[in-house]
Structure 1
């Protein structure tokens, strides 16, 4: 009797497990229809680039010919005897992906896929190959618009990248390592990622397997809509490591419309250098929590200067859009129409202030000029640090136009705990711009104790705020 009861219990457990597995299997997405509907609109892109190499550059890779050893002279003379060392034409080839956005032959891909290409060949799923021309390409957003001479092409359906959510399923189709029309799936890992290579693109981060050859291919949602272009991976090996990035389709289409209408891409420019707000800095600037974009430098002859922005302002809202972190600001400013006047809400001296600024076009270079001061050294015992005037050579090297002091020595105390180190340039202390070492000492004497104080430091060509606190 007990055996029958145990057998019945095992049977019920087995049935429950099978039902659970069945429910779980049904809850996973089925991408087969999506791939079948869109595979023909995805293309393989092959580029050719003609270069010239000298005979000596054709030696086996890894063969090192140290200068002055006599060996390099031997090979140079050998190749000169074989033809005078004249450049030899060489041709390189690269692979990427793309997708058709209109039936008359408009195709999207990455800028880096077609960069410097002498010939671009687009291959379709039926193995038809057509030569493409570049209508426009934007390096900052890594978007390129191509055109082939064709009609009645299969196209993708474009979606809306503004309404994406972390955790939703996505699918990529491309040609990793030349394996045409490979499909890989995953989820959205994060939104609005800012990368060092480009702060004007709010990247979509996914865990979809992306490898060389996938670049320029589409990223689909479950509705079969393209919500991004696969662009980059984060890798320490050169291969996929679980982190990939796609350009949001809304950003892409903004670039496309500008290329079609004016032949180039323009972006809004404010003219500030910004950083994130830490917990300590938030307290020192009178914020209830770390948020906003902290201005560490205002660029000369910029819209920000003309609008009255100051170093130490924390931008909280730009043209009605919340700025939660510093990475939120560049894409918002970049998408703002040149010539538009917008309201910007900032926190200044613990008070909310609204400034009006007219956005200008982002320049290619934002260079600063240099100036000169007389050298001298001063020691502040409260901060346990020694500062000096900045020499003309240092101003030119570190691009400091005026004011500031050079940190010469830091000992155990508030400064070293705040992260200040020799070689730093202090531009402001407690929201007061530092003009010279004399003024720095006077400002330091009046610093309140037991309270985080903002100090603006320039290090390695970039400025950032640190929070310093004097314990008494």
Structure 2
């Protein structure tokens, strides 16, 4: 009897103990949740606000548009001195345009006075002025810019004001969903703080050759450009550059240049006054699953070499058309668009290894990287990226397409097999219906309006006939890399895409 009673008591005790522990655990703080959802950013904002600046420019009125010309007076006229004196006084009295607040920036080197912003913030401006968090304003000089990444470096005299610098963090460690802090000068209101999360990474928004943006839902508006994006440790992980917005205001889709990309560009601008990027000298295209399978590659990775530029580093290293670049300087090339950025970040003159896929196996080739800017100055990039000029090239002016016969040079340049017949597209203007439909140089038009075509003139004639009869579109049968598809292309009215001279405002 005693044993039975003792067993029941122990059972009740264990039950109460379990309930007590459950309640205790339920009230314990969940540290992971607290880290993901901080109570606020007040302390962090107070620390970081002095590092962020407002950037504005001012310039003189154009005297040619403001002042009248001197009247045509005969020599020795008594009115000549009068008019000259009048115009001189008017010129001296010309006011400056009120400072126009354009964007944001941040101090990266307090000792030497270096400030970073976007290139588009200060482009075509003069008399750049920096306003700090305590409302002190200093003149700044332009150190250098880079339009490919939209970055610019400015310099102020550090002896005229005590500067507080921000430190760069490692943007590669950012994870989707992490909290970030954005500080800038939206709409010229002054320093403003907004918070959000990393919505996506490695975004390509077609703004340049090295797109690799951080996307965020933090409020970014006009005037935030050039301002910093901070992580929760207070380090700069991005530079706010662009927004996607149908209205011009924030809709929760903003983009920032990753700090790891920006640091290399900024260091070069400070050291040389310009960038010195690496250059490999290849024309590349995407590796599709079909191309990968045809070349014996298990996965569609890397960058397919369409052609190496003549005399360029790749050609000297033995790279051939049809090779797939899998690695560059120890870094894997998962997608075609990653290669230009990785090459650009490599120092000119450095010899690195590239791993290519050729004849169903990997090969390693040493290549000495050249300087991109020198190649641009010498016109080597134009030779690399443009198809061979053809005497028979014909343009569909209204549709913005250039066509050519399938010559042996063009077959080699675009890797078009001998069995494919038709008319090759050699250029597609941006912003046209052809561009929107995905047509690109190297595509071969096999049929137009269900008629086989072998010359550009045949295509032009078909378009002209359909335009006369009032047809609004033409059905094209297009071959790209062995894949055949139909494209319904809009027939444009005459001179739809004729270029006009820009209007001065």
Larger relative CO (CA 8 A, sep 6+): 1 or 2? 1
149, 154, 174: which one aligns with 1:146: 154
Q: Which of these two proteins has the greater Rg computed from alpha carbons?
A: 2
Distance 2:125 2:353 in 1: 43
**Aligned residues of 1:161 and 1:250 also touching (Cα < 8 A):** yes
2:230 is equivalent to residue 220 of structure 1: yes
Shift of 1:316: 0.8
Shift of 1:351: 2.3
Which residue of structure 2 lines up, in the alignment, with residue 3 of structure 1? none
| Structural mapping, 1:262-301, within 5 Å | 262-301=272-311
Distance 1:194 1:90 in 2: 40
SS across alignment from 1:198? coil
**Aligned residues of 2:444 and 2:480 also touching (Cα < 8 A):** no
Distance 2:439 2:100 in 1: 48
Which residue of structure 1 lines up, in the alignment, with residue 129 of structure 2? 121
The verdict on how the C-alpha distance between 1:371 and 1:330 changes in structure 2, with shifts beyond 3 A counting, is: closer
SS across alignment from 1:281? helix
Which residue of structure 2 lines up, in the alignment, with residue 245 of structure 1? 255
Runs ≥4 in structure 1, deviation > 4 angstroms?
Answer: 18-27, 53-56, 88-92, 369-375, 402-406, 419-427
The verdict on how the C-alpha distance between 1:181 and 1:20 changes in structure 2, with shifts beyond 3 A counting, is: farther
Which residue of structure 1 lines up, in the alignment, with residue 37 of structure 2? 28
Shift of 1:317: 0.6
Shift of 1:319: 0.9
104, 123, 139: which one aligns with 1:97: 104
Structure number having the greater strand percentage: 1
Shift of 1:390: 4.8
Shift of 1:466: 2.8
Which residue of structure 2 lines up, in the alignment, with residue 389 of structure 1? 405
Shift of 1:203: 2.3
Shift of 1:325: 0.6
Shift of 1:169: 1.1
The verdict on how the C-alpha distance between 1:120 and 1:206 changes in structure 2, with shifts beyond 3 A counting, is: same
Shift of 1:32: 1.3
TM-score norm. by structure 2 comes to 0.63
Distance 2:117 2:100 in 1: 16
Shift of 1:122: 0.8
SS across alignment from 2:140? strand
| Structural mapping, 1:47-86, within 5 Å | 47-50=57-60, 52=62
174, 194, 198: which one aligns with 2:208: 198
Gaps of 5+ in 2: 1-22, 67-93, 394-402, 426-436, 446-453, 455-478, 486-505
TM-score norm. by structure 1 comes to 0.67
For residues 15-71 of structure 1, the C-alpha deviation after alignment (integer angstroms, 9 at most, x for no partner) is 99x979999678512211110111111111112245649879xxxxxxxxxxxxxxx
Q: How many equivalent pairs are there?
A: 367
184, 190, 195: which one aligns with 1:174: 184
SS across alignment from 1:101? strand
Which residue of structure 2 lines up, in the alignment, with residue 468 of structure 1? 483
Which residue of structure 1 lines up, in the alignment, with residue 422 of structure 2? 407
